[in-house]
A and B are shown apart, each in its own frame.
Chain A
Amino acid sequence: MDIRSQVSMVFHLDKCLGCHTCSVACKNIWTDRKGAEYMWWNNVETKPGTGYPTKWEDQGIYKGGWEKVGGAISLKGAGKQKGLLNIFHNPNMPVIDDYYEPYTYQYLDLIESPAGDDQPTARPVSLITGKPIDIKMGPNWDDDLGGSPDFARNDPNLKDLSPAEQEAMFQLERMAFFYLPRICNHCLNPACVASCPSGAIYKRGEDGVVLINQNVCRAWRMCVTACPYKKTFYNWHAGKSEKCILCYPRIESGQAPACMHSCVGRIRYLGVVLYDADRIHETASVAEQDLIDHHMSMLMDPFDPAVIAAAKANGIADSTLHAAQSSPVYKFVKEWGLALPLHAEFRTLPMLFYVPPLLPVMAAVKEVSHREQEGKLSSVAKTWDDSWLYDTSTEELWGAIDQARFPLKYLANMLSAGDEARIKDPLKKLMAIRIYRRWKTVGDISQQKALDALGDAGYTPEMADAIYYLTSLAKFDDRFVIPAAHREHAIEMLEYTGDNRGNAGFGFKAGTMQRGM
């Protein structure tokens, strides 16, 4: 047992309102630079949709992630042989048009144009060439299902759905969507690290953050292909790859990453998870239907004395262990079984987990008659010109999940490697909590029914209260449990501190910069 700690995340999709505040916070801090204009280390996609870059989930196009060949796994589109043979031209790499050409407007023309017969206009200009362009694509072009025929209809997750099911999803009355915020998953088996010919990308041992050493990066761009989530980006101006750094300067000083700190819907949770590094390779190599279960079983119980002893033997600080014990991520993922990794079938073992969205799934659209209602209204009142009802009732406990207007298969393709039973489980649990809360707050459900629902989901009322608290009421310090970085230990190891006795402060510390920032 080789216990390591990882700063891990949970995003609660039911709470995401799609405001893009996270994306803007990230952009303002990290990617507001030349060559990085098109990059969104954090982005929020509307699902169904093709995402960013277009159809990133379709590994038939981009060849990202790992694939299992025989018993072993290898990188699908990169790696030692494929990577070096394709080093002169990477055939599977997305190009700028797969994201969008960044642009701005000539705002100055609005106020500096000479007087004339026409209104001055602000023409769009490319941020690459500086020349006027016709905008063909922009960030979140398909937000809230805009342009569905081109975008939502081409969502790679629709692949196993029958034409009739797809048709049903896109009828105007039945259309539903939810938001999928994405950052780097800081995987346990990162494909970007394995694909880098220069060895510039590495995972930090202490907190699991995956970083690119800009001094070592030589722009071979294999990471862009290898990352199945397309969360490494090529800076065309600097000739270096860049990616989400999980705001490590903020984490090291005890602050939440900018995207999480600024999250309006408070959907994001961050905390330490202890895992067994000895099992990474074995877990990444199991059959597809076992991937999630094996991934979950790698995450260790921070209260288990054997795990604590192994963690201490590996130099994990008591403060980190304590953070692991109060980690909201561990609770959501392991204790409550509510969160799943995104596209586990890519085999990178992502450490960002998603609580699946209940609402578009739960709500059914029924055909009803409004005649009785309309009879009660005066003649000037609104009348229904259709007979559809958006039904969020909880009359049948679990029926709504099966008859959802959002096919379970679609969610399963995203969050449970295609296994519908696996995605149904957390949805059922979320539904149980909802029924339980409805009994408590509205009272139109009997106590027996509420407790039965909890029992079916495997929860006790105490657990339900805890889930409700962490979902709806949690304060900043409950959502973000960040362990101390313990830089002082690192400094002590770099230099014999006795040398500096009598000196002012820490003296001269040349060694601390050697970690390749």
Chain B
Amino acid sequence: MSWLNNFLFVALPYVAVVIFCVGAVYRYRASGFQYSSLSSQFLEGRGSYLFSMLFHWGILILFIGHLVTFLFPAMTLAWHSDPVRLIIDEIVALALGLGVLIGLAGLLVRRISHPRLWVVTSRMDLMIELLLLAQIVLGLWTALGYRWGYYWFAADLSPYLWSVVKLNPQIEAVSAMPVVIQAHVVGAFIILGMIPFTRLVHFLVAPFHYLWRRQQLVMWYWDRKRVRDPGAGWTETRPGNN
């Protein structure tokens, strides 16, 4: 089985990361016009509020939670040394996971039950939706079946992920994990590699710059202070566009 473990936990992560990086850039350059999630709220707006909110906020917070545990394992262990905090965080994560499951399932039912939405649904949309659904089911299974993930993720999985980052993969710990957790890890890498080719690219262009840009935008053809100054255009060579 070592060849399979090598493939799943050594080759797949690198392939996924490379495909994600190269694919994201390539797709932005090749078809940047379509770099968004094709919103369907306009065609069916009322049924999606609860499900969309549950799914998006849930997956966002869970993703950040996974990221923090991976990046700062020692801090996570220290924080959860208090059992009250540990139990509260376990419950919060489980609740968010259930929210994501309900949201995702609701969105899938909505998409299938409204014929108008079929015309804006591609096969890739369904595929990524089913993959995410499988991933969240595996995640919930993990949360219920293999408790105190804050401990074993920080202690065992985080070092594995760090070893992958440091180009010196150590897969003993992850190879010994239960199959459900292994499937969850493999699923994460598959989804990562698929992101550039699905509607999930929309989170790569999330509009955080809106927070610090000025409200009104005015664009000029020309530099209006210089355009009609007879001396201007000729004193400098190649003035840039505005």
A511 CB within 8 Å of chain B? yes
Q: Which residues on the A side are within 8 Å of B211 (C-beta)?
A: 80, 84
Contact A215 B221 (CB under 8 A): no
Which of B89-97, B141-149, B181-189, B224-232 lies on the face that meets chain A? B224-232
Contact B42 A95 (CB under 8 A): yes
For B217, give its contact among A96, A202, A317 (CB under 8 Å).
A202
Which of A86-94, A354-362, A463-471 lies on the face that meets chain B? A86-94
A136 CB within 8 Å of chain B? no
A205 CB within 8 Å of chain B? yes
Contact B222 A89 (CB under 8 A): no
For A205, give its contact among B202, B207, B220 (CB under 8 Å).
B220
Q: A89-B48, A201-B217 are in contact. Are A495 and B42 (CB under 8 A)?
A: no
Contact B207 A197 (CB under 8 A): yes
A221 CB within 8 Å of chain B? yes
B176 CB within 8 Å of chain A? no
Within the assembled complex, what's the spacing in Å between the Cα atoms of A492 and B209?
32
Q: A205-B218, A205-B219, A494-B241 are in contact. Are A129 and B119 (CB under 8 A)?
A: yes
Q: Which single residue of chain B is at the shortest CB-CB distance from A235?
A: B42
Contact B115 A219 (CB under 8 A): no
A135 CB within 8 Å of chain B? no
Contact A317 B219 (CB under 8 A): no
A322 CB within 8 Å of chain B? no
Contact A219 B38 (CB under 8 A): yes
B81 CB within 8 Å of chain A? no
How far does the Cβ of B100 sit from chain A's closest Cβ, in whole Å? Answer: 12
Q: What mask results when residues 48 to 63 of chain B are scored 1 for a CB within 8 Å of chain A, else 0?
A: 1100110111000000
Q: Which single residue of chain A is at the shortest CB-CB distance from B57?
A: A88
Q: Which single residue of chain B is at the shortest CB-CB distance from A203?
A: B218
Q: Which single residue of chain A is at the shortest CB-CB distance from B217?
A: A202
B113 CB within 8 Å of chain A? no
Q: Which residues on the A side are within 8 Å of B222 (C-beta)?
A: 206, 315, 489-490, 493
A239 CB within 8 Å of chain B? yes
How far does the Cβ of B217 sit from chain A's closest Cβ, in whole Å? Answer: 4
Within the assembled complex, what's the spacing in Å between the Cα atoms of A492 and B233?
7
B202-218 at interface with A (beta carbon < 8 Å): 202, 205, 207, 209-211, 213, 215-218
Contact A96 B43 (CB under 8 A): yes
For B215, give its contact among A193, A218, A220, A234 (CB under 8 Å).
A193
B238 CB within 8 Å of chain A? yes
Q: Which residues on the A side are within 8 Å of B178 (C-beta)?
A: none
Contact A220 B216 (CB under 8 A): no
A131 CB within 8 Å of chain B? yes
A199 CB within 8 Å of chain B? yes
How far does the Cβ of B131 sit from chain A's closest Cβ, in whole Å? Answer: 20
Q: What mask results when residues 74 to 90 of chain A are scored 1 for a CB within 8 Å of chain B, else 0?
A: 00000010011001111
B166 CB within 8 Å of chain A? no
Within the assembled complex, what's the spacing in Å between the Cα atoms of A228 and B224?
31
Interface size on B, residues (CB 8 A): 55
Q: Which single residue of chain A is at the shortest CB-CB distance from B220?
A: A205
A-B contact count (CB 8 A): 159
For A221, give its contact among B39, B56, B115, B120 (CB under 8 Å).
B39
For A514, give its contact among B40, B116, B220, B241 (CB under 8 Å).
B241
Q: Which residues on the B side are within 8 Å of A83 (C-beta)?
A: 210
Q: A80-B211, A131-B115, A511-B241 are in contact. Are A199 and B39 (CB under 8 A)?
A: no
Within the assembled complex, what's the spacing in Å between the Cα atoms of A292 and B220?
28
Chain A interface residue number, banded: 35 or more
B98-131 at interface with A (beta carbon < 8 Å): 115-116, 118-120
For A128, give its contact among B38, B43, B220 (CB under 8 Å).
B43
Q: Which residues on the B side are within 8 Å of A498 (C-beta)?
A: 234
Contact B216 A194 (CB under 8 A): yes
Q: A199-B210, A493-B222, A514-B241 are in contact. Are A215 and B32 (CB under 8 A)?
A: yes
Q: What mask results when residues 187 to 220 of chain A are scored 1 for a CB within 8 Å of chain B, else 0?
A: 0011001101111011111100000001101111
For A515, give its contact among B52, B205, B221 (CB under 8 Å).
B221
Q: Which residues on the A side are within 8 Å of B241 (C-beta)?
A: 493-494, 511, 514-515
Q: What mask results when residues 474 to 501 of chain A are scored 1 for a CB within 8 Å of chain B, else 0?
A: 0000000000000101101111111000
Contact A493 B210 (CB under 8 A): no
Q: What mask results when residues 231 to 263 of chain A are scored 1 for a CB within 8 Å of chain B, else 0?
A: 000101101000000000000000000000000
A312 CB within 8 Å of chain B? yes
Q: Which residues on the A side are within 8 Å of B118 (C-beta)?
A: 129
Contact B45 A194 (CB under 8 A): no
Q: Which single residue of chain A is at the shortest CB-CB distance from B224?
A: A315
Q: Which residues on the B side are within 8 Å of A205 (C-beta)?
A: 218-221, 224
B6 CB within 8 Å of chain A? no
A460 CB within 8 Å of chain B? no
Q: Which residues on the B side are within 8 Å of A313 (C-beta)?
A: 225
Q: Which residues on the A side are within 8 Å of B210 (C-beta)?
A: 80, 83-84, 196-199
Q: Which residues on the B side are within 8 Å of A203 (C-beta)?
A: 216-219
B35 CB within 8 Å of chain A? yes
Interface residues, chain A, with chain B CB atoms under 8 Å away = 80, 83-84, 87-91, 93, 95-96, 126, 128-131, 189-190, 193-194, 196-199, 201-206, 214-215, 217-221, 224, 234, 236-237, 239, 280, 312-317, 487, 489-490, 492-498, 511, 514-516
Complex A-B: 22 CB contacts under 8 Å:
A87-B207, A93-B41, A95-B44, A196-B210, A202-B217, A203-B219, A205-B221, A215-B32, A218-B35, A218-B202, A236-B40, A236-B42, A237-B119, A315-B225, A489-B221, A489-B227, A493-B233, A496-B234, A497-B233, A498-B234, A515-B221, A515-B241
The 5 closest A-B pairs by CB, nearest first: A197-B207, A315-B224, A95-B45, A88-B56, A205-B220
Since A203-B219, A206-B222, A219-B38 are in contact, a sample of 4 more A-B pairs with Cβ atoms closer than 8 Å, ordered by chain A residue number, is A80-B210, A88-B56, A95-B46, A515-B241
Interface residues, chain B, with chain A CB atoms under 8 Å away = 32-46, 48-49, 52-53, 55-57, 115-116, 118-120, 202, 205, 207, 209-211, 213, 215-228, 233-234, 237-239, 241-242
